[in-house]
């Protein structure tokens, strides 16, 4: 499976989502963003020419430092599984390193559900991720949640592989 490509896609997507969370950049697409500086361990894509490394405490630094900014969920579920726990632990380490930083966790669902329920389910997923970070010692006041229900898919197919990618909670730093 083309896991490397998948990770890169998700990184680009998470930046796009970060942009989306401010109103002024609502319609910017991932494709329009400049190539991101990438020094992370999650990708072997050669880093593009440009800045030598992300600014400490920045969103780029967060993405480069953590295992992933995204955890995934099973169909209709919101429990944080072992793989997601490891990802959230890496996020908690970064948050411990930058105690002044705030994050928003965005909860998402796949398209095979009804609109209202998916907003509630996305919120439940974001809260599950938040609760796990809090259990690791991160102050709850540093974490806000927002649910996008099924409104912002990252994978665009109508198939199980796409749905699995879309059932997610994405941690975005508040800059």
Partner 1 sequence: MKRKPPARLAPALIGLVALTLGAAPALAQQQPLPASNAPQAAPTTAAPDDGGLTGSVTGEGAWQDLGVAIPAFPTDNPVPTAAEGGNTAALGKSLARVVYNDLKNNGLFKPTGPDALPGVAYPQVSAPDFGGWRARSAEMLVQGFVRAAPDGRLTVGCYLYDVALGSELARQGYVVQPADWRRAAHKCADMVYSRLSGESPFFDSKIAYIAETGPKDHRRKQLAIMDSDGANHRFITNGQATALTPRYSPDYQQIAYLSYLNGNPRIYVYDIGTGTQHLVLQSRNPTFAPRWSPDGKSLLFSMAIGGNTDIYRIPATGGTPVRLTNTPGINVGGSYSPDGKRIVFESDRSGSQQVYVMNADGTDQKRISFFGGRAATPEWSPRGDQVAFTCICGNLRVAVMNPSGGDMRFLTNSWQDEAPTWSPNGRIIQFFRTEKNTGRTSIWQVDLTGRNERKLNTPVDASDPAWGPVLP
Contact range with partner 1 by CB under 8 A, out of 35-43, 52-60, 95-103, 109-117: 109-117
Asked if residue 85 binds partner 1 (CB under 8 A), the reply is no
Query: Which helix H or strand E contains 169, and what residues bound it?
Result: strand 168-174
The residue written with tokens 């599984």 in the block is 81
Task: Find the binding residues for partner 1 in span 15-44 (CB under 8 A).
Answer: 21-23, 26-27, 29
HSE toward the beta carbon, residue 84, CA cutoff 13 A: 22
- With CB under 8 A as the rule, give the number of residues binding partner 1: 34
- The conformation of residue 175, written as its DSSP 8-state character, comes to -
Least distance to partner 1, CB of residue 127, Å? 3
Q: In terms of C-beta density within 10 A (0-12 exposed, 13-18 middle, 19 or more buried), how is residue 126 classed?
A: buried
Contact range with partner 1 by CB under 8 A, out of 39-47, 79-87, 89-97, 154-162: 154-162
Which one of residues 7, 103, 126, 138 is an interface residue with partner 1 (CB under 8 A)?
A: 126
Asked if residue 141 binds partner 1 (CB under 8 A), the reply is no
Q: What length is written for the chain?
A: 175
Asked if residue 117 binds partner 1 (CB under 8 A), the reply is yes
Contact range with partner 1 by CB under 8 A, out of 44-52, 65-73, 91-99, 120-128: 120-128
Extract the tokens encoding 90. Answer: 């890496």
Q: Closer to partner 1 at the Cβ: 38 or 127?
A: 127
State the Cα–Cα distance between residues 122 and 64, nearest whole angstrom.
25
Beta bridge mates, 170: 70, 106
């Amino acid at each position: 499976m083309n896991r490397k490509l998948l990770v890169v896609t998700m990184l680009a997507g998470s930046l796009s989502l970060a942009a989306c969370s401010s109103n002024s950049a609502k319609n910017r697409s991932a494709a329009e963003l400049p190539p991101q500086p990438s020094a992370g361990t999650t990708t072997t894509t050669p880093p593009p020419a440009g800045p030598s490394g992300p600014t400490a405490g920045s969103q780029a630094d967060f993405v480069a430092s953590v295992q992933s900014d995204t955890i995934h969920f099973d169909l209709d579920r919101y429990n944080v599984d072992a793989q997601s726990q490891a990802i959230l632990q890496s996020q908690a380490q970064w948050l411990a390193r930058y105690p002044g930083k705030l994050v928003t966790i965005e909860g998402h669902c796949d398209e095979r559900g009804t609109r209202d329920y998916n907003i509630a389910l996305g919120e439940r997923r974001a809260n599950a991720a938040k609760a796990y970070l809090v259990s690791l010692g991160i102050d709850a006041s540093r974490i806000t949640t927002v649910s996008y229900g099924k409104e912002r898919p990252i994978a665009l197919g109508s198939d199980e592989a796409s749905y699995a990618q879309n059932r997610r909670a994405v941690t975005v730093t508040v800059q």
